[in-house]
Amino acid sequence: MTWDWSAVSGFMPHFWDGLLVTLQALVLGSLISFALGLVWALLMRTPTRWVRWPVGVVTEFVRDTPLLVQLFFLFYVLPEWGVTMSALATGVVAIGLHYSTYTMQVYRAGIEAVPPGQWEAATALSLPVHRTWTVVILPQAVRRVVPALGNYVIAMLKDTPMLMVITVLEMLGQARLYSQQHFQFTEPLTVIGAAFIVISYLASLLLRTLERRLVR
């Protein structure tokens, strides 16, 4: 087997297109999962049983069903109910929703790890509930959960190739399309594998830097 550099150069324009889509899905999906996961975690701490029970059922259902099934459902079933989104938007929503059920557990662990004395101090100072959360509890909880959230960013990156099944041409989708058109598989797939390694490594470095700064 010989390495064909012309195949690499021919694939690179497709690679950059796929990389842009992959990064869009990763960044937007991460933002949704972080924001929605925090909402789930806060709702699960409400004293009202009729709030906690539906949230618990929904998040458990989403967590226990495969992301692939959720992608197909959002892309093919929702339009029958009048809800239509682009393929990329569907993929972003699916990834964000799916991983929000995992980040919810991370947030819950971080909140529960805040020392009871912090809650007591906020009560002693007569801080309003929203100030207690935004000024005292959440800043401490977030510092504790950054490493775990970072792990889910890497997991979301590795799940972006699933978007190919709903016609989103992310990196692997572009490699698959190019390989089928030109009958050259080794070079495109090797480039994609190397790209995933590099992006994962850079993301881990960024998260470690963020973690060190938050710990100060």
- Inter-residue contact 160 to 26 (CB < 8 Å): yes
Of 25-39, 98-112, 137-151, 202-216, the poorest mean pLDDT is in 202-216
Nearest Cα residue to 107 out of 35, 29, 41, 39: 41
pLDDT in tens, 103-157: 999 999 888 888 888 877 877 877 777 777 877 888 888 888 888 888 899 999 9
- Inter-residue contact 97 to 70 (CB < 8 Å): yes
- Say what the pTM is: 0.90
